[in-house]
Structure formats: C-alpha cells, structure tokens
Structure 1
C-alpha cells in the first residue's frame, strides 16, 4: 500500500510540472503575438496603402503644377536681384575672366536644361491622357445610370419618360448599342415605327450581331407595312439565333399576309365581256343555227331519265307522218326556233317526273373523354386541337388548369396564336356564364415573353381584352389600381 501511495504522489508531482510547463509556453506565445500585433499597427500607420478607387466614384486627379525650367528660375532671380546678375555677367573687356571661362561646362548646363524641359512636357501630356480617360469613364457611368432609369420607366409603362432617359444616355455614350435598341422598343410601344426603325439600324451599325435590334427593326417594318424587308430581318434573326420562336411565328404570319395579297390581286377581274348594242341594219343577216348542249357531271338518275326521254322522242318522231316532216323542212327560221322551244318544253315536262330523294343521315360521333390537366405546353396544344370541336368539354378542360401554373406550363413557348385562342375562349364562354376570369388574365402576364406577344396583338384581340376587363371590373371585387396595372400590361 505504501508503494502505491508513493507512486500516486510522484504522478501528481509530474502532472503539476507538466501543467506549469504548458501554462508557461502559453504565456510566452501570447506575449509574442502581442508584440507582432504592435509591430503591424506601427507599420500600417507609417506606410500608406494604395487601394483602388471605389466603384462608380472616379474622381478627377488634381492638376499638377508645371515644373519650372532653369531659364524661368533665372529670369525670376534676375528680376528679384539684378545686381547679382550683373556681377555674374562677364564684361567684354575683362580678358582675364574670359581666359578662365569654361566653355564645355556652360554647354553641358544648357543641354541639361533642355532635357529637363523635355521631361516636363512629356509629364504634362501623360496627365492630359489620364484626364481624358477619366471623363470617358464618367460618361459611360452616366449612360449606364440613364439606361437603368429608362428600364424602370419601361417596366412601369411610362414609355415617354423611358425615351427621354435613353436619349440622355445616348448623348453621354454614343458607342453603346443597347441604348438605341432600348429606345426603339419604347418607340414601338408608342407606335412610332419610323423612329424605331432608324434607332435599330443605328444599333446595328454599332453592333451587327445584336439579335434584339434586328428583331425590333423587323417588327417596326412590319408595322409600317414593309413585308419584304421585315421578312429579310426575321430570316437574319434565324441565321444568328436558329432557336428564336418569335421569328418563326412572325415569318408564318408574313407568309399568310403575302398569300392574302396575292389572292386579292388574282381575284380582281381583269377581262370583262360587255354587251354591245347594235342597230338592226348593222346586225348579221345569216340564219341562226341550233347548237346541241350536253350536260357533263350530272347524277346517274338524271342520265337514265334523259336516255329514256330521248328514246321516247325518237319513237314519237318515227310515228309522225311524212307530210308533217316535209312541212317542217320548209318552215322559216323563226318558226323553226319556235318549234324547238316547244319541243324543249315537252322534254322538261317529261323530266319532271316524281323521283325518290334519299337524304344522307348524319352519323353522330360521341365526344372524346376529358383528358387530365396538361404537364407541358405541348400536351396543352395537342388536347386543344382534339377538343376544339367540342366547346363545352374544352371549357371544362381549361378550368382544370391552375392559373398559378401558367409560367411553369408555358415557360417560353406561348405564342400569340395560343394567347388569342385563350382570349376568345374567355370572351365567348366565361362572360355568358359570369365566371371569374381575373386569375387567368393576371397570371398570363407572368409568362415569359408576354410583352412581345402583346406587341403583336391585333385590334380585334385588344377589343376582346377590353371587354373582359370591363366585365371583371363590374362583376368581380378587384382593386382598381391592380386592374389598371394589368390593363397596362395588355397595352390598354
């Protein structure tokens, strides 16, 4: 037991010594860290750190004074102390001083003064270049600020203010191709198509690969009625960006418009035959000739009736006596025509026999089953085509879709045709049944590229939207400010 007790005491002593050593090392480390911290603080106070300027705060450097050359200092000394200058100057008759005059030293002093002047002039040109660079950066910053302001005004629907902001930005930075393209978009909203076209061409002169500028110029030309030029621009958009759906849909529309114009030109009457009134003494004196007319493409029953009547007329002619036949040959042309008309009337009487009319019984096909809510826009279009002939089921199918899911359902694939179909459905079926439509109208504005579809809406589609919004304001309890924002998004 005593040995164990002694071992415990030794262990306790060793542990205490180890703890003391650890604490001593810890104190030494803390002292060294404090000394280093003091040294670093003194170094930071003595040394001035050169940090880059804060973003968007480029200040113009203060102008430095020009270095004065020795010639200017000498002139100042001469003006201040003319007696000393007279003492330094060697007189012409003092030959002893001219003997001691060092010519090479004087030439070296003159050359050193010229080098100093040259260095000072180079320093001044460097400062001018820096000043120009600073002013250019300030103008670029100002142009970006005006662009952001214009974008905010455009989102709020204040297109006139946006145009003013973009013009100020263009005045500050004339090399930025985004500013004229954005101003062209605002001008398109204001239906100032000629100015929008010129702005887009200006943006393309600065950057020929700017797809948005080409697309906006095409829409401006389409508004001006320049179909061929707009078609060329949309084709250029597809060359730069083959997956652009807006260009594809607009090319289809332009093709339809061109076909309509061609049909109008072809349908216009070119060759007309007008009746000519001739006096009796100028008319032809030749006898009239009978022309046999055959009907082609008639039904089989009519052909059978005509054959039977023809056979009957042949038999009748065979039964007529010879005297009557001879008398017919000797008749005048007027009598002959009269007899022909009488024969024709007899044939018509024979044709008007009672016939059995068989009416086609319409085959009634049952309507297709109602599909579930679509997971994507592709399924929506496919189901819409299948249910288009059954409006009641189409309305039920459209009601299944939650309006909050429109942005995820359409993504970037909502065309102007789909939007017009939805508006027609709301106008023709929702308004008569007095159903809520505000959720549908407001959530459609959250779909991507909705602004582009609204820009190409026709006047009839805008009338539909106006009627729908008026119905909502009368029958649904919606705030007027919210309704006003939604109507601005639809361009009304």
Structure 2
C-alpha cells in the first residue's frame, strides 16, 4: 500500500497509546467486547505502508510475515515492529481493521480476523510457568543483544510476572530478571528506575557484579558521582580486572572532583 491511500484516514477517529509508541486509527470496527491478551492465538494480516520507493527497509523490520494472513501468538514478536503489532493487537476486537502510525515513521495496516485467548498465568501449573518464563528470558536476551531493548524489556517483565508467585526455587531467576530489566532501563535512559532495581537486586545478593556496575552507571547518569564511585570501587574489590568498571571509576572520580571544586568556589564567594 502506498502513502496516497492514507489520505482517507483523516475521517476516522484516532487513539494514541498511553506510552506514545503508536497512534491507531480504526478503519473498520470489530465485533464483541473481548480483546486478546498475552499468549492469545490471533489470525492477523500485517500490511506495511511505504512512504517512498526506498522504504523496503520497513518490511525488513518485521519478523512477522507481511502481506498475507497468518497465525500469531500475541507477545511472541522478536523485533521492535513486531512489538508494535503485539501492543496494537491488545486493543483490537475481532474483525477490526486499523491503521497504525508511529513517531519513528513506521506505518502499517493491521487486520485481526479472530483470536483465541490462551491460559492465564493463574491457570498454569508451576512447571508451565517456569518453562514459559525461561523461554521469555532466553528470547529477551537475544532481543537485547540485537538492540531491540523494548522487546527485551517486555520479555523480561513477562517472565518476572510468571515467576512472582513461585516458591523459593525461583529466587535466583527473579534476581537475574530484575538485573536485566535494570540494564534495559539504563539503555533507555531511565536512570532512577535502574538504580532502584539494582538496589533491590543488591539487597538480595550484595555481590552481584552486574547490578553494581549498572547501578554505578545509573548513578553517574544522575550526577551522583560519590554513589557511582562507591559502586565501582565495590565491584573492583570483587573483580579487580574488570576494565569497564576501571574506566567508569575514573569518570566517577573526575566527576566527583569537579563537583567538589564547584562547591568550594560557591562557598568561597559567600565570604567575599
């Protein structure tokens, strides 16, 4: 579909997602009142919209098939564009057709013929929860390494929710997931949230090297140079050869030094 066909969309009401990641315009209303939830099996059609003849990269951004009907498990998308599809599906009714637009320029038509919701977490037994959580953890790591941070965050968050009510055997896995979410926070510039998550991890496991590093980076990002220095020093006591921590420690010390000099100058002016 090309951009000319989008001109008719202005006559339809639009809705923006709470996180601002997409704007949905309903072209054909669906039926019923139920909407798909995570793990629902949906029959969908994704049709990317080209703005110019050089926009073939838009199609490449989807791991989901495009231009044909296919069956999708909601929440199983592997790219940022797939994640947008999943988010939009959660707002749709059976039979609905909508146009999706994003701040980054990705545009597509999304049709959902029908869906069937899967098991809710409370309907799963312990083994099912653990198996699904481990799969999400693994795929979240793959997405993170590929640079799809929002996809990774969604995977880690879902895995953590699945393990929330499982007894003590899942404690270690929950700690790891919390630390991974902190890494996503750092990548997305949410330094305060990253610091809080790392502090929760370190309350449970004080020697968690990655949490010390991520909290140090988060504190440095908020100009808490003293706190950052302490984290990197603690990390290097546990892992003296960690080059990244050594480099960040130098930055933290330099930042702390400049801050102290600034305070000294300000105090000096008070007595002139």
TM-score by length of 2: 0.47
Greater strand proportion? 2
Q: Which has the larger radius of gyration?
A: 1
TM-score by length of 1: 0.27
- The structure with higher relative contact order (CA 8 Å, sep 6+) is 2
Greater helix proportion? 1
